[in-house]
Chain A
Amino acid sequence: MNAITALAFKDLRLLARNRATLFFTFIWPILMAVGFGFMFGGDGERAKLRVLVNDQDRSAGSQRLVDGLIALDSISVEAIERALGEQEVRRGRAVALINVPKGFGVASERLFYGTPARVQVLIDPSRKPEIGMLEGLLLQVASQDMGRRLNDISADSAWLQSARRDAALLAGEQRNRLDSLFDALEQVGPITRSTSGDAEGSQSTAWQPLQVETEALQVQRRGPRNPFAVTFPQGMLWGLVGCLMGFASGFAQEREKGTWLRLRTGPLTATQLMLGKALAALIALLGVQVLLLLFARLVFGLIPDSLPALALVVAVSAFAFTGLMLLISSAGRTTQGVSAAGWAGMMPLMMIGGGMIPLIAMPGWMAGVSAFSPVNWSLRSLEGAIWRGYDGSDYLWPLSGLMLLGLLSFALGARRLARATD
């Protein structure tokens, strides 16, 4: 362990032993995010994918499909009219709209021949991973339905009678082959074999029980899919501020108590000492954000739109707040002085930056003022990566601002601290 990492490790150990700082850094932001999430309408359960269904066929076959989807734990299914459903998907409030066209029921009676049943899935293109899962679920439901019917074969099976009628309309050779197949199935009787696993797989390669046609909708306006998508970025900002203030006060305390003086008489340069402090703060600032994101993911099913973008925003925010920590540390000679100066500076930035009033709920004038707060830059970028669906260019200004702020604050704070005579 070199001297700088020893410094950082020592500061993290001190953080871990200070219950008050620990609480306000890690626990308080979670409580705020969860509390406000419930207040804004969160049901407290792990969020399910919201899927809309427009059943135009209204047949027994289409109803079996809808019932099969409803029975699944991982999605929440609601019947809706097509126009309304499209609007919901365009607004990002549902993952997809499944259109079940007329004729679905008849087509679903065909097994192993002809054109299979078809559904159209209108999707929000930004949610590709969830769409892939939905396609799999649709095929799963259709396969299970097919399996149930294969387990119940007799001469008077509705689907078999329907199939014989369809086959009678075909040309001679093809009709003969299907008739032979149907005769064989009748003689076999109920099929007790499993319809899962390899058997299903081999069927689907040759003939699929359901065709899924996906079509991307142009997303018009995005809103959070989940109230926790708003409150957790806010909670992360509170965590960043709590952590920043904890380290700034700790630094002031170190100067006040004389340990900083002792360190300055050692062989480490002032720059190395600052780097050690900054490293500890950076690790803690990253840690608090990752902790909140993991909590939101595991407990509330919050899935970010872009994980790489989110990682970038988290890293840049941690860097900027590390710089601010050093600047605030240099704002006073005593713990009380630094704490007062820090809160006096950070509270207005939090108030106008979206830390108290969600950005999405701000009136126009306030949103204009908010754009000058680094809290806004960080919060907006976090929301951009989590639910706003930002493009790369959308991150350019807020993240550049945060980087610049971090560098300037670090340089100014380090300079002031190095010059300070304790």
Chain B
Amino acid sequence: MTGTTTAVSFENVGKRYGNRVALDHLNLDVRRGEVFGLLGPNGAGKSTAMHIAVGLLAPDSGSVRVLGGDPRQAQLRRRFGIAPQKLSLYEDLSGRENLVFFAHSFGIQGARLRERVDAALRFVALEDRQHDRVAGYSGGMQRRLNIAAAIVHEPELVLLDEPTVGVDPQSRNAIFDNVLALRAAGHTVVYTTHYMEEAERLCDRIAIVDQGRVLAMDSLEGLVRHHGGDAQLSIERAGRVEYLHGDDPVRLLGEALQQGPVDTFQLRRPSLEQVFLTLTGRQLRDAA
């Protein structure tokens, strides 16, 4: 599907590094205006997919369309921005100098340059530290500046590659707010992560990637419905715990109460963790 509603489309994309298969007939479609999550363990092929999406790598097979064109076209590249997993910043320059330089590299000049740099700094709440050298920033501040550098030229599509790696909870929440603000402003966001709670909290749709293939792609509810299995109800009665499975946990609880008094009960919804376990046969945290 490569219609006007599609921001990124991968069709049967393959990529090898020597004998190692990085992408194995990968199929993706990212819709405009959504936050799309690529969830998978390290080495699953997420970063390779990102690099192909921004034109850094050419696929060995299959086709890739980004914003309706070939991501290797220079003009098209003005319309997307990437925050790579590595902090791609000049540590000896200030935060502002970094953004000015990256904006220049996109051909932005004059009043618009100042306006865009100010807006990007404001977006990631680094106005107070804009004149400090990046080397003096905390890890979380550097991550936020990394995002600011990706959006300074106001791209339609923003690709965030593991943007919360190594940051404190406070900065992580700030980055979450940034992602949601980008969606609210109409940007399309592709978000790679191996943290399920991030995908659950932020993403409109999620693709679960493992060993270079998309195992499933849907909304969180859709994934859980199709691959998460039943809800699990546990009840405690007279010091004993019983686990009950079924499509309708309310009905199960009602039946348990008819059999006698219940001291406590716990209802556990299927999660992405369960989805991943179902699809791959192993826990994501083990794979990562």
Contacts and interface: CB of A to CB of B under 8 A. Distances in A.
Interface of A: 1-3, 6-7, 10, 13-14, 17-18, 257-259, 261-269, 421-422
A11 to B, nearest CB: 10
5 contacts: A6-B104, A10-B90, A14-B93, A258-B87, A267-B105
Contact of A261 (B77, B84, B90): B84
B77 A265 contact: yes
A16 to B, nearest CB: 9
B90 A265 contact: no
Contact of A266 (B77, B90, B92): B77
A268 B74 contact: yes
A14 B92 contact: yes
B90 A7 contact: no
B165 interface: no
B102 interface: yes
Given A262-B88, A267-B74, A267-B106, 20 more contacts: A1-B109, A3-B104, A13-B97, A14-B90, A17-B92, A17-B93, A257-B87, A257-B88, A258-B85, A259-B88, A261-B88, A262-B102, A262-B149, A263-B105, A264-B56, A265-B56, A265-B77, A265-B81, A267-B107, A269-B74
B54 interface: yes
Contacts of A269: 74
Contacts of A264: 56
A261 B109 CA distance: 22
Contacts of A267: 74-75, 77-78, 105-107
A18 B92 contact: yes
Given A13-B97, A17-B92, A259-B90, A6 B105 contact: yes
Contact of B82 (A6, A10, A265, A422): A265
B57 interface: yes
A10 to B, nearest CB: 5
B101 interface: yes
B244 interface: no
Contacts of B104: 1, 3, 6
B86 A265 contact: no
Contacts of A1: 104, 109
Interface string B33-61: 00000000000000000000011110000
B84 A266 contact: no
A10 B101 contact: yes
Contact of B86 (A3, A17, A257): A257
B89 interface: yes
A421 B57 contact: yes
B55 A265 contact: yes
Contacts of B81: 265
Contacts of A261: 56, 84, 86, 88
Contact of B89 (A3, A6, A259, A265): A259
Contacts of A268: 74, 105
Of the candidates A3, A257, A267, the one having the most CB atoms from chain B within 10 angstroms of its own CB is A267
B221 to A, nearest CB: 33
Given A13-B93, A14-B90, A257-B86, A265 B106 contact: no
Contact of B84 (A7, A17, A18, A258): A258
Contacts of A14: 90, 92-93
B89 to A, nearest CB: 7
B109 A265 contact: no
A117 to B, nearest CB: 68
Contacts of B88: 257-259, 261-262
A1 B75 CA distance: 19
CB-CB nearest 3 A-B residue pairs:
A258-B86, A6-B104, A258-B88
A3 B90 contact: no
A10 B86 contact: no
A264 B78 CA distance: 12
B114 to A, nearest CB: 13
Interface string B78-120: 1011101111111111000100011011110100000000000
Contacts of B92: 14, 17-18
B261 to A, nearest CB: 61
Contacts of B107: 2-3, 267
B133 to A, nearest CB: 8
A259 B55 CA distance: 16
A416 B86 CA distance: 22
Contact of A3 (B54, B55, B57, B105): B105
Interface string B115-138: 000000000000000000000000
A133 B162 CA distance: 72
A268 B73 CA distance: 10
B78 A10 contact: no
Contacts of B74: 267-269
Nearest to B76: A267
A258 B149 CA distance: 13
Contacts of B85: 258
A343 B85 CA distance: 31
Nearest to B86: A258
A257 B81 CA distance: 17
Contacts of A266: 77-78, 102, 105-106
Contacts of A6: 101, 104-105
A18 B91 CA distance: 11
A421 B15 CA distance: 13
A14 B252 CA distance: 67
A6 B107 CA distance: 10
B106 A262 contact: no
Nearest to A254: B90
Contacts of A10: 90, 93, 97, 101
Nearest to B100: A6
A13 B101 CA distance: 11
A3 to B, nearest CB: 5
